[in-house]
Structure 1
Amino acid sequence: MRYLTPTRTVAVAVAAALLAACGDTTININEQEPIVIERPGHDHDHDKVNPVGRLVLTAIDNPFVQILELPAKTELNTFMVSATPSDLYASGDYRYAAVVQRTQDLVNFIDGGLWQEDHVDHLHDYQEAPRFMPFQLTGVRPTHFQQAPGQLAVFFDGNAATGAPASVAVLTDADIGEDRTDYPKLTLTTHQHGAAQARGEFLVSTLRDVNSSTTLPSQVALYKRQGADFIQEQVFAENCPNLHGSAQNHDFVAFGCSDGVLLIEQNGNTFTASKLANTADFTGTLRIGTLAGDKAAEHFIGLAGAQVFAIDAEDAKMEKLDWQPGAANAIWGYGFADGAEKFVLLDNTGQLTIFNYHGHAHAGQSAFTYAAKVAVSNADLSLLPAGARFQLAISAADDKVYITDPIRKELITVDVHDAEIKSRKQLNFTPHRITWLGIAEPADDHHDH
C-alpha cells in the first residue's frame, strides 16, 4: 500500500463547473485566506475563539464538503473533492475532518480551523478559516476509522479480487497538519473487513486467516510502534469468530464477536484478553456488531440489530437496555454525549432516545437509565432519498447534538441535557454525512473510581 501526500489539484473553476452540472443545487465556493487570531503574551481572553465548534457536511449527490460555523450554522466555506464522500470522521483532537472516498481508495482532510495548544501554564485556543489540506491517504478501501485520544486509526480493508492486503495507518493531528509521511503504518498478510484501535505507542488490530471462508477476522494482535512501523508483540489466544465492531475506553478495547465480546485490558505495557459470552437475550444469529465507548465512560454500549446492551468490562457483565424503540427497527446514529453524562440513539423513525449514564456511582442502579425521547422528524419516511438516512454528529464541547433530515433537507440542533430541539436550519442540498470539529472540553473523570 502507498500513502501519498500531494498538494490540492482541484481548482475553483473546475469546482464551479462540477456544481453547475448538478441540477438546481446552489453552493457557493468561498476561497479565502485563513484568518489567525493572535493572542500576544499570556492573554487568557479567548472570547474570539468559537467555543462551540463547527460542523462538516456532505451531500448525497455532489462531491463537495461544506463547513458551518456554530451556533448560527452560517457557511464558512465549501470545498470540492474528487468524488461524493462515502463518510466523514473527526481526527483524534477534532481539528480535521477525514473525507472518505472509499471506492476511490482516497481520504482527504479538511482543517476545521479550531485547535488548542498546551503553553505549559495554560491551554491556548486558536481560530482560523477552514482550509483544504495537502495531506491525504491513498490505500485500498479505507473503511473503519477509530478515534482515540489524540489519534485516528484508519483501517484499509484491502481487496480480495486484486490480492491487496489490509493495512492500518495511525495519525495524529500534527501528522495531518505538517503533511508528514513518517506516521506509523501496518501492512497485514491478507484482505479483511477488520478494525484497529490505537493506544499511544500501541496498536490493537484484527487478524484474519488467509484460508478463511469469510472476510471477517477471528483474532486480535498487539503491535508496538518502532519508527514508522508497527511490530507484532502478541497474538491473543481468545478467538473472536466473525469479528465486527470495536471501541475503547480508558482501560479496555472491545471487539464484537458472533458469540460475545472480546475484551482487551491494558495495564501499563501489559495487555490481557478475556471473553464475555452472549447472554440468554441472544437467539438465532443475533450478535453484537457495533460498539461504542468513551474515555470518560467505564461501560461500552453494544448494538445487536435494534437491540442495545450495556457492557461492563471491569465486572464482565452484559445487560440488555429497554430503549422503547416503538416502530423503529434500525439504529442509524449513536454515541456518548455531554461529557459522557448521556448516551444517545438515533433511530430510523426520526426519534432521538436519550439515556442518563451513571457509571458505577450508584450501587444497585443500572448504569444507563432512560431519560427522554425527542421527535426530531415526523416526515414521511417513504420519501427518504435512495442511499440517505438521518445522521448524527455529537459535540465534544457541550451538550448539543446535530441531526440531518434528508427528507426535509434540515439540520437540527438538539440539547440532550434539556431533551429539546433548539433550532432548525434549512439546507439547499440533500445532506448525507456530518461530523463535528472544534476544541473539546477536558474529559470529566467523575466516572473513574
Structure 2
Amino acid sequence: MLQSKLNLLALLASASLLAACGDSTTNIVEKDPIPVEDDHGHDHETGAGRLVISDKDSTMLRVYNLEDGDLVGQFSSLSNASALYASASQRFTMVVQRDSDKVEFIDGGLYQEDHGDHLHPYEEDPRLMELQLSESRPTHVTTTDEQIAIFFDGNVATSSVAKVAVLNDEQINAGSTDYPVLTYSTHMHGAAQARGDLLVSTIRDATTASTLPDQVGVYHAHSDHFDLEQEFDSRCPGLHGSAQNKDYVSFGCTDGVMLLKQNGDTFTASKVANTADFSGTLRIGTLDGHEDAAHFIGFAGAQLFSVDPVAGRMDKVDWQAATGASIIGYGFADHGEKFVLLDSTGALTILNYKGASAIGAAFELADKVQITSADLTAMPTGSQLQLAISAADDKVYVADPLSKTVSTVDLAEAKVTEKQELGFTPHKLVWVGIAATHDDH
C-alpha cells in the first residue's frame, strides 16, 4: 500500500543512491509464492506492483513500490515522455517520446517464471533497458498479453513513412531487434492490432489530403517484415481508434464502428452504424476492449457507447457525467468485470460489465469516487489528472499534478484509501507488475 507521507530525508537519500542507475548491481530476490484469495474466491500469487511516474519538469522517471510506497528507482529518459504504457506481460514500461522519435523501456523489476508446477515471482531493482526504438512519431501503442504493436505515424515534413513494430517482452529483455516491422509507402495517423503472426493494420491512400486512413488490411509476419494478405473493400472513413477482444478487432469510423471477425487466418468485415444519438461531427474516435469482455467500449466526445459485435448493435451508456465533464482516463479493471472513467471534474466513475448476454447497454453505473474537490482550472499548463489501473488487485491510482500527489482508489470499496505526496509534478504514470490470474467468466 502507498504510504500517506514520504520521509523527505529518506527520499533524498534514495535519490542520491540511485543517481547512477543503470550502472548499479541488480539485486534479485526469489520471493516465496504467497497465495491471495480475491473477491471471487480465486487463488493467485501476486504483489501490489509498482508505479512508474514521469516528471513534468524534467526527463526523470521514478519507480515506486506499492507495497510500502518506497522509491526504488529513478531514470532519465532521452526526452520528456509523451506517454507511458505497460508491456505485454506488464513487466516493462514503454517510455514513448513522440516528438523525439524514440521509445525506451524500463524494467519494473517484478516478473514471474514458469517452474512447471507453479509460476514463481521474482523481485529485482528496476533498470533502464538497452533496447531503444528510433522511428518517426511513435503514437498509438496497443498490447495483448503476449504482443505489443507500436504505430509510428511518420512525418510528411521529413518524408518519413509510417511503420508498425511488433515485439514481445522476451525481445525487450534480451535487447533483441529481431522483430518484424511493417513499412508503409506513406505517412499516416494509423492504428494496428497484433494477433499472433497476423497484424491487422490501417491502409491510407497517399493521394488523399487527410492523414487518417480509411481502409484496413491483414498482414502476415515473415521474418523481419509483413506481407499484405487480405484487404477489405469496406471503408472506414476518418479511421481513428482501435481495439480487440478474443474474436474481433474494431476500428472507429466517422459513420460507425468497423468490425473484423477472425476465423483462423481469415477475417470477415462488418459495420455497426452510428445511432440517432450521433449528430453533427460526433463520432467514435477511441475504442477499448478486453480479452474477457464480449463488448467494446466506444468514446464519442464525452458520450460512451457499448458495441456488441455479435448482435451488431451500439447502445449509449449512461455514466451520469457532470455538466461539462470530459473523459481524461479510462480502462477495464478487475479482469474485465469493471470499466473505470476518470473525468475532468476529478471524479472516477465505476461501471459494472454485465457480460456477453447483456441486452442493450452492457455497462451500468456502480459508483462514483470524487478524487479531488480542488479547482482543476488551476492545473499547470499541459497537465491533467492521470489514471493507472492495477492488474494485480482491485485498485487504481490517480496522479494529481496540482497537489503533487498520487491517490489509491479501492474499487470494491469505492473510496480513496491512501494518498502519497510526491515532491514533484507528476505528468504520466503507469502500473507495472505481476498480473493476478483469474478463471474465465
Matched, 1:203 2:199: yes
Q: Which residue of 1 aligns with 2:325?
A: 329
The one-letter code of the counterpart of 1:185 is V
- The answer to whether the aligner puts 1:348 opposite 2:344 as a matched pair is yes
Aligned residue for 2:435? 440
**Does structure 2 retain, via aligned residues, the 8 Å contact 1:193–1:216?**
yes
Matched, 1:288 2:284: yes
Please give the per-residue CA displacement for 1:221-260, whole angstroms capped at 9, x wherever unaligned: 0011111211110111110000001111111111000000
The one-letter amino acid of 2:370's match is A
Separation (CA, whole Å) in 2 of partners of 1:120 and 1:272? 38
1:37 to 21, 29, 36: 29
Runs of 4+ residues over 6 Å off in structure 1: none
Which residue of 2 is the match for residue 299 of structure 1? 295
How far apart in 2 are the matches of 1:288 and 1:317?
A: 14
Please give the alpha-carbon distance, in whole angstroms, between the structure 2 residues aligned to 1:391 and 1:29: 28
Deviations 1:310-355 (A, max 9, x none): 1111111100011111134310000100111110000001000000
Distance, in Å, in 2 between the alignment partners of 1:389 and 1:28 is: 29
Q: 1:281 to 1:178 in 2, by over 3 A?
A: same
How far 1:33 sits from its partner (Å)?
Answer: 2.2
The whole-number CA distance in structure 2 between the counterparts of 1:310 and 1:443 is 24
> CA 1:79–1:370 in structure 2 vs 1: closer, same or farther (change >3 Å)?
same
Residue in structure 1 matched with residue 9 of structure 2 by the alignment: none
Q: Are 1:262 and 2:258 an aligned pair? A: yes
Equivalent residues in 2 for 1:28-107, closer than 5 Å: 28=16, 30=18, 31=21, 32-38=24-30, 44=33, 51-107=47-103
Q: Which amino acid in the other structure matches residue 434 of structure 1?
A: L
Match of 1:183 among 172, 179, 185: 179
Q: Which residue of 1 aligns with 2:141?
A: 145
- Residues 1:209 and 1:300: Cα distance change in structure 2 (over 3 Å): same
Structure 2 distance, partners of 1:46, 1:317, is: 41
Write the distance in 1 (CA, Å) between the matches of 2:62 and 2:297. Answer: 31
CA gap of 1:28–1:147, structure 2 versus 1, over 3 A, is farther
Give the deviation of 1:84 after TM superposition: 1.3
Task: Report the AA paired with residue 30 of structure 2.
Answer: E
Aligned to 1:403: 398
* Aligned-residue offset at 1:435: 0.5
Secondary structure of the corresponding residue to residue 176 of structure 1: helix
Per the alignment, residue 245 of structure 1 pairs with 241
Deviation at 1:83, TM superposition (A): 1.2
Give TM-score scaled by structure 1 length: 0.90
Q: For the Cα contact (< 8 Å) 1:339–1:398, is it kept in 2?
A: no
Structure 2 partner of 1:174 = 170
Aligned residues of 1:328 and 1:347 also touching (Cα < 8 A): no
Question: In 1, distance between residues paired with 2:326 and 2:112?
Answer: 37
Q: Does 1:386 align with 2:381?
A: yes
SS in structure 2 of the partner of residue 315 of structure 1: coil
| Structure 2 spans left out of the alignment, 5+ residues | 1-11, 37-44
SS at match of 1:161: helix
* SS of aligned partner of 1:37: strand
- Aligned counterpart, 1:419: 414
Q: Distance in 2 between matches of 1:436 and 1:337?
A: 12
Contact 1:151 1:173 in 2 (8 A): yes
Determine if contact 2:293/2:356 at 8 Å carries over to the other structure. no
> Identity percentage over the alignment?
52
1:223 alignment partner in structure 2: 219
When structure 1 is superposed on structure 2, of 26-35 and 409-418 the one drifting more is 26-35
**Matched-pair contact (CA < 8 Å) for 2:315–2:360:** no
Question: Could you report, residue by residue, the CA deviation over 1:148-189 in whole angstroms, capped at 9, with x for unpaired residues?
Answer: 121110000000112111000011000100011111111011
Return the alpha-carbon distance in structure 2 between the equivalents of residues 28 and 298 of structure 1: 48
Q: Which amino acid aligns with 2:427?
A: H
Q: Following TM superposition, by how much is the alpha carbon of 1:137 offset from its aligned partner in structure 2, in angstroms?
A: 0.3
Taking the aligned partners of 1:370 and 1:45, their CA distance within structure 2 comes to: 34
Shift of 1:46: 7.7
Letter of the structure 1 residue corresponding to residue 365 of structure 2: Y
2:372 matches 1:377:
yes
Deviation at 1:99, TM superposition (A): 0.6
Partner letter of residue 400 of structure 1?
K
Task: Quote the RMSD (CA, aligned, Å).
Answer: 1.8
